[in-house]
Amino acid sequence: MPYDDSVSPTPHRRPLLVAAALAAVCLSAAGCGAGGDSGEAQARPRQGSSATSAVPPSVPPSRSAPAPDKTSASPPSASPSKTTGGRASGPLSGKTVVIDPGHNPNNHLHTREISRQVDIGTTHKECDTTGTSTNSGYAEAQFTLDVSHRLRALLQEQGAKVILTYDNDRPYGPCVDERARIGNNAEADAVVSVHADGSAVGNRGFHVILPALVRGGAADTSKIVDPSRDLGTRIAGLFVRATGSAPSNYIGSNTGLDTRSDLGGLNLSTVPKVFIECGNMRDPKDAALLTSAGWRQKAAQGIADGITSYFNG
C-alpha cells in the first residue's frame, strides 16, 4: 500500500454486472486477449481516472478474515537469487520482468532507516514504510512477497527472466528510489509492484495504479505513460477473470484504474511500470481473500495473464 494514501476514503457503491459483460468489455476495450509506493504506507484514495476497464460481478461475501491459509496452493520455495531465468523456449523467452514486492516484513524493526527522506523526482518522501496488515495481524509485506513468489514461478514457466527487487534478503527496504532503479537498470520490459491496501471497512476490491505524466527533477514519465496504461489495463481486466474480485468501489470510479503523480516508484521509472493494490486488508471480506493461499495463487495468475497479454499485444 503506498504510504501517502492516508486520507480517509469516501466509499462509493459499485454497480453489479454479470461476468459476461466483463469479458466482452475486457476483450474489446481493454484488449486483454484470451486469457503503496513500494515504501509508501497508508492508502489515500483518488477519485477518477481517464482510463476505462470492465467492471466484474461483486466478490462473493465471506464471513470473516481467517488466519492465512498455508495448506494449499503453496508457492515454490524462494530462490537464493533474486534474478532467475525461465525456459529458453517459452513464449516469454527474451522478456525481462521485474516484480517489486511492496514493503519488507522487517521494516518495523528499522523505523529510523526507512524514515530517511529520498528524492522521488517531484519532492522528497520516506525511504519506505511498514505497510498495512489485516486486523488479525497478517502483514502486507508477507502478502506481497508470497504473491510475488507465485507470480515469479508462473512467468518463469513461460520463459521470462524474472527479477525481484528484494527476496527477504535484506533487513529493510529497499527504498522507493532504489526499487525504481532496479527496474531501470534491468531494462525491464515490464515492472509490477505488488501491494494490498489499508482502507475503511466496506471499501473493497482491487485497483491498478498508473503513472501520471510527470516532468521535473529526476522524474520524466513521458515515455512510459502510454505503455504503462496498456499494461495496467490488461492486468486489471485479467485480474478480474482470474480472481472473481471486482474493481475498487472507493478508488478509480469502478474502473479498477487510478493515475497518480506522487509515487516515487512510478515517477522515477524509465520502463513501463504499474502498481496493483490487490484488495483492502482492513475489510473482513477482502481480508478473507487475501489470507487465502488459493486466492493468492489466483491473484498471481491474473497478474501473470495481464503481463502476458501486454507482451502479446
231 sits in which H/E element: helix 225-243
- Max Cα-Cα span within the chain: 50
Tell me whether residue 206 is exposed, middle or buried, using C-beta atoms within 10 angstroms of its C-beta: 0 to 12, 13 to 18, 19 or more.
Answer: buried
CA angle 78, 82, 87 (to 5 degrees): 80
Nearest of 263, 290, 275 to residue 125 by alpha carbon: 263
* For residue 174, cis peptide bond before it (omega within 30 degrees of 0): yes
| Burial group, residue 216, by CB count within 10 angstroms (0-12, 13-18, 19+) | exposed
Cα(186)–Cα(80) distance, rounded to whole angstroms? 19
Q: Of these residues, 126, 140, 178, 277, which one is catalytic?
A: 277
Active site residue 140: no
Using DSSP's 3-state secondary structure scheme, residue 164 falls into strand
Is residue 184 within 8 A of residue 90, CB to CB? The reply is no
CA 141 from chain centre, in angstroms, equals 12
Using CA atoms, how far apart are residues 233 and 272, in angstroms rounded to an integer?
Answer: 12
Q: Is 61 exposed, middle or buried (0-12, 13-18, 19+ CB in 10 A)?
A: exposed
- Active-site residue numbers? 277
